[in-house]
Amino acid sequence: MDGSERDGGATPGAPELSDRDAELVEELLAGSHRALARVITRIEDRAGGHRAIVSALHEHTGGADVIGITGSPGAGKSTLVDKLAAAYRERGDTVGVVAVDPSSPYTGGAVLGDRIRMGSNVGDMDVFFRSMSARGQLGGLSMATADAVKALDAFGKDAVIVETVGAGQNEVDVVRTADTVAVLVQPGSGDDVQTLKAGILEIGDVFVVNKADMDGAERTLAELEEMVHRREGPTKGLETGHHGFDAPEHPDDPEGSDGSDHSDGAGDGEGDEAEEAPPEWTPKVLRTVANTGEGVEELIGAFDAHAAHLRESGEIEETKRRRYAEEIRTLVRSDVGALAAGEIERRGGIDRLAESVRKRETDPYSVAAEVVAPIVDCVEADGE
């Protein structure tokens, strides 16, 4: 089957980089902001050759601290990201920001993309800001966003901040891109805290009560502290692990998904020649007032501490393996889906197939089997 036109010109096998795109990659790696902008545009549009570009950039990634900022609409994410970028610049770091906005139902573009943001960093070439469309993804992040982060990382940005739409519990998609995740909650938002209890709690490395000068801030801080305490208490080791990925089914299981001992350390070391496992990260609960910058330095300190924890514990490597595994699955599902969609069109389109099912001439299972059969044949032939 010919898949040369799927997903912006992707072809089976390793992507091939054209001479023109190779020059574009070289310019990006040499520090050209214009080339960086062009690459991210290609990535967002899923234009022909974008996969080869991202593949070429991959070996140059791994130097940036990637931070996800998530939370419900109205929590002040954009203002806080603006202040964070300014604070990073003050200490000499370069910054990339990917702000994932809601998708236009008509164009798929970012409906908030033209609004004025990052006011504290206007004119600073070492702060690269890009507003991108969520492209209908419930969690606010598409594959394009993850690829844009790679471009910023390869460019040499010290910190890359991903600000997400804020789609409630589905926001867990942010963990596929970020090393450190901050969840923002505004004071008095009892419903938001209940949402956290429903599942997003597991992805947060830092919890932030923004607009902490408002009434109800202390109560919200106390509620978050209690939630974190419960997470680290009786059920410690039974949660879904760092960033919601798989963890051992029992806290004393030494063969956990990160290869470390998840026990609480009591009685460790007796008869065990292995080094004692480093302590697990306890999520921080902080307060900020983004409008004034209050608490921003403390928040960056928490980000730095978490990054150091990931490196010192070795957890960062396991986190990357899990992330890449999920990325591979996503790409494979996308490619196979595109192949199947092409086969459906060759058979007259989905409406004709559905009509055949409606007339009882066939059934959905038989249609699916017929559509997938050529793909199966190709896979089996390659395996022989």
- Give the pLDDT mean for 245-262: 42
pLDDT at 9: 41
Percent of the chain beyond pLDDT 90?
48
Q: How sure is the predictor about 279, in pLDDT bands with cuts at 50, 70 and 90?
A: confident
pLDDT greater than 60 at residue 236: no
Sequence-distant (6+) residues with CB within 8 A of 95 are: 85, 88, 89, 121, 126, 127, 128, 157, 158, 159, 160, 161
Structure-block tokens of residue 289: 């007032």
Per residue in 174-200, pLDDT (tens digit) is: 667 899 999 998 887 665 566 565 566
> Is 344:364 a contact under the CB 8 Å cutoff?
no
pLDDT greater than 70 at residue 171: no
Helix (H, G, I), strand (E, B) or coil at 129: strand
Structure-block tokens of residue 382: 């390659």
Angle between helix 296-313 and helix 315-346 axes, rounded to 10 deg: 90
Helix (H, G, I), strand (E, B) or coil at 130: strand
Structure-block tokens of residue 210: 């923004």
Q: Which long-range contacts (CB under 8 A, 24 or more apart) does 46-50 make?
A: 46/7, 46/8, 46/144, 47/8, 47/9, 48/8, 48/9, 49/8, 49/9, 49/15, 49/17, 49/18, 49/21, 50/8, 50/9, 50/147
pLDDT at 16: 87
Per residue in 111-168, pLDDT (tens digit) is: 444 344 555 566 678 999 998 875 655 444 668 889 999 999 999 999 999 998 765 5
pLDDT at 280: 86
* The most confident of 160-174, 227-241, 311-325, by mean pLDDT: 311-325
pLDDT greater than 70 at residue 281: yes
Q: How far apart are CA 46 and CA 227, in angstroms?
A: 40
Higher pLDDT, 356 or 242: 356
- Give the pLDDT mean for 43-54: 91
Q: How far apart are CA 54 and CA 59, in angstroms?
A: 10
Q: Does domain 62-251+277-313 have CATH number 1.10.3720.10?
A: no
State the chain's mean pLDDT as an integer: 79
pLDDT at 141: 61
Q: How far apart are CA 126 and CA 89, in angstroms?
A: 8
Instruction: Quote the longest CA-to-CA distance of the chain.
Output: 71
> Is 137:169 a contact under the CB 8 Å cutoff?
no
Residues of CATH 3.40.50.300 domain(s) within the chain?
62-251+277-313
